[in-house]
Amino acid sequence: MRPVYLDNNATTRVDPEVVQAMLPFFTDHYGNPSSNHDFGASAGAAVRKTRLQVQTLIGAEFDDEITFTSGGTESDNTAILSALEVMPERTEIVTSAVEHSAVLTLCAHLEKARGIKVHRIPVDRHGRIDLDTYKAALTPRVAIVSIMSANNETGTIFPVPELAELAKEVGALFHTDAVQAVGKLAIDLKSTAIDMLSLSGHKLHGPKGVGALYAKRGVRFCPLIKGGRQEGNRRAGTENTPGIVGLGMAAELALKFMDDANTRVKALRDRLEKELLQRIPHAFVAGDLLKRLPNTANIAFGHIEGEGILHFLNREGIACSSGSACASGSLEPSHVLVAMNIPNSAAHGAIRFSFSRNNGEEDVDRVLEVMPGIVKKLHDLSPSSPARRKDFNQLQLRATTQPPSTVSGQGGCNA
Ligand SMILES: Cc1ncc(COP(=O)(O)O)c(C=O)c1O
Ligand code: FES
């Protein structure tokens, strides 16, 4: 059975060209980029070349606006903590209710540990930010606004250039987590008021554990990782040269494949969505249908558990992810779908299919072939289907008299 990988918003396959570009930096050019000999010089030159490649991908004005980090999470943390450090008189953060945990968990910590006020701007049913609440939260007390460029679960695109202009009016810094957008959407930072932007290598066919933080020239900055003078004093620690080189090649390839992402890959996503909705009653798409990443489809199937769908898809060799957080040990549906006011019964059955340039029509065919059967099977088994309620009640009765392990996998939550 040929595996079908449709979980590219979680991570992507490293492009073979990226691997080839990286290899010599493990075995031949292994010098420390800070060293004053030829080994160091070739590593240093490679890091400088990557800065240009990333600069081109995101349309930054200067290459020294790019700092290499360990990935999206570190870039997000650095941006927010830096802003609070350089503007201690400002004690508020504005963010959205649907950010990645790299932003939301940090904000919750800052709220608790440092008394920072966090405005989590709500979204509507399509995941679009509530502009009036956003504008009302903007005051001279705000140090930084951090709003993602595109949502990782639904693909909804936020109007970050406009939001950045508004933040500027009150003197707040504007950061965007563009981890999902970079490589999929054309970005031209020099024409925007965006002060900082996070990106991550492994979402664009680069290696894991490497990313970058863009900070516009003139933006005051305080490093998160303190130590040596690497990265223009912005990020201490010997550079991950092979990883950085891999990110550079990934950035170059992303530009080359940008058209493909927005035409062929988008058409695959659209066909999957259209045909699933035709074949499966009550299924609907979660997200902004007009402004969405071209590769992402988040489909809610209703009254069945996403985890169950994933399980059966996985048995068919198909990888995607669910809109629920059960995988992380919680029985709550995704905070993104909850913020969008999607009913619990639908949010629990939401599945995210995310495509990349490695996918083809045969992947869509395969999902279409198995999905209706899986949904039907789960519906028949679902405790919320009337036919099954009697069985389920009996199961619950048994659960009270048996050790928990014997009833695991029976739908931890039946909302
Ligand atoms: C929107 C968003 N931000 C941040 C991250 C974290 O990036 P990294 O895995 O490179 O730390 C991810 C990855 O899941 C993401 O989707
Ligand atoms: S989301 Fe998995 S059990 Fe409800």
324 lines ligand 2 (CB under 6 A): yes
Are the beta carbons of 68 and 119 closer than 8 angstroms? no
- Of 203, 205, 334, 336, the one to substitute when testing ligand 1's pocket (max ligand atoms within 8 A of C-beta) is 203
What pLDDT does 303 receive? 84
In the 8-state DSSP scheme, what is residue 152? T
326 alpha carbon, closest ligand: 2
Task: Break the chain down into helix, strand, coil percent, rounded to 5.
Answer: 45, 15, 40
333 lines ligand 2 (CB under 6 A): yes
201 lines ligand 1 (CB under 6 A): no
Q: Give the span between the Cα atoms of 279 and 318, in whole angstroms.
A: 19
CA 328 to chain CA centroid, nearest Å = 16
In the 8-state DSSP scheme, what is residue 379? H
Pull the structure tokens for residue 372.
């209706």
Which pLDDT tens digits describe the chain residue by residue (415 residues)?
Answer: 789 999 999 999 999 999 999 999 999 999 999 999 999 999 999 999 999 999 999 999 999 999 999 999 999 999 999 999 999 999 999 999 999 999 999 999 999 999 999 999 999 999 999 999 999 999 999 999 999 999 999 999 999 999 999 999 999 999 999 999 999 999 999 999 999 999 999 999 999 999 999 999 999 999 999 999 999 999 999 999 999 999 999 999 999 999 999 999 999 999 999 999 999 988 999 999 999 999 999 999 988 888 899 999 999 999 999 865 544 456 678 999 999 999 988 998 999 999 999 999 999 999 999 999 999 999 888 766 545 545 444 433 333 333 333 222 222 222 2
Element (H, E) at 145: strand 142-146
300 lines ligand 2 (CB under 6 A): no
Q: Give the span between the Cα atoms of 75 and 82, in whole angstroms.
A: 10
Helix (H, G, I), strand (E, B) or coil at 352: strand
Q: For residue 386, how many other CB atoms are within 10 A of its CB?
A: 7
412 lines ligand 2 (CB under 6 A): yes
107 is catalytic: no
Distance 138 CA to ligand 1 centre (A): 26
Are the beta carbons of 191 and 213 closer than 8 angstroms? no
What pLDDT does 381 receive? 82
Q: Give the span between the Cα atoms of 181 and 204, in whole angstroms.
A: 10
Letter for the amino acid at 217?
R
What pLDDT does 305 receive? 86
CA 399 to chain CA centroid, nearest Å = 37
Q: Which of 222, 320, 326, 413 is catalytic?
A: 326
What pLDDT does 402 receive? 36
| Ligand 2 atom nearest to CA at 326 | 2
Are the beta carbons of 413 and 348 closer than 8 angstroms? yes
Q: For residue 376, how many other CB atoms are within 10 A of its CB?
A: 12
Pull the structure tokens for residue 6.
């449709």
Letter for the amino acid at 29?
H
Helix (H, G, I), strand (E, B) or coil at 94: strand
Distance 312 CA to ligand 2 centre (A): 15
308 alpha carbon, closest ligand: 2
Token pair 């970005």 in the structure block, residue: 187
In 216-323, the DSSP E strands lie at 284-285, 296-300, 318-319, 321-322
Distance 411 CA to ligand 2 centre (A): 6
Pull the structure tokens for residue 41.
């010089």
Furthest-apart CA pair in the chain: how many Å?
A: 76
| Closest protein CA for atom 16 of ligand 1 | 152
| Ligand 1 atom nearest to CA at 9 | 16
Letter for the amino acid at 20?
Q
Q: Give the span between the Cα atoms of 38 and 31, in whole angstroms.
A: 8
Distance 278 CA to ligand 2 centre (A): 25
Give the CA-trace dihedral at 158, 178, 275, 267, to 10 degrees.
100
Helix (H, G, I), strand (E, B) or coil at 388: helix
Pull the structure tokens for residue 224.
């998160």
Give exposure, 195-219, as e/b (b: 16+ Cβ within 10 Å): bbbbbbbbbbbbbbebbbbbbbeeb
72 lines ligand 1 (CB under 6 A): yes
Q: Give the span between the Cα atoms of 30 and 33, in whole angstroms.
A: 9
Helix (H, G, I), strand (E, B) or coil at 224: coil
Letter for the amino acid at 267?
A
Pull the structure tokens for residue 329.
């040990």
Domains of the chain: 16-256 (3.40.640.10), 260-407 (3.90.1150.10)
* 373 Cβ contact list (under 8 Å, min separation 6): none
Give exposure, 307-335, as e/b (b: 16+ Cβ within 10 Å): bbbbebbeebebbbbbbbbbeeeeeebbb
| Closest protein CA for atom 4 of ligand 2 | 413
CA 276 to chain CA centroid, nearest Å = 24
What pLDDT does 414 receive? 25
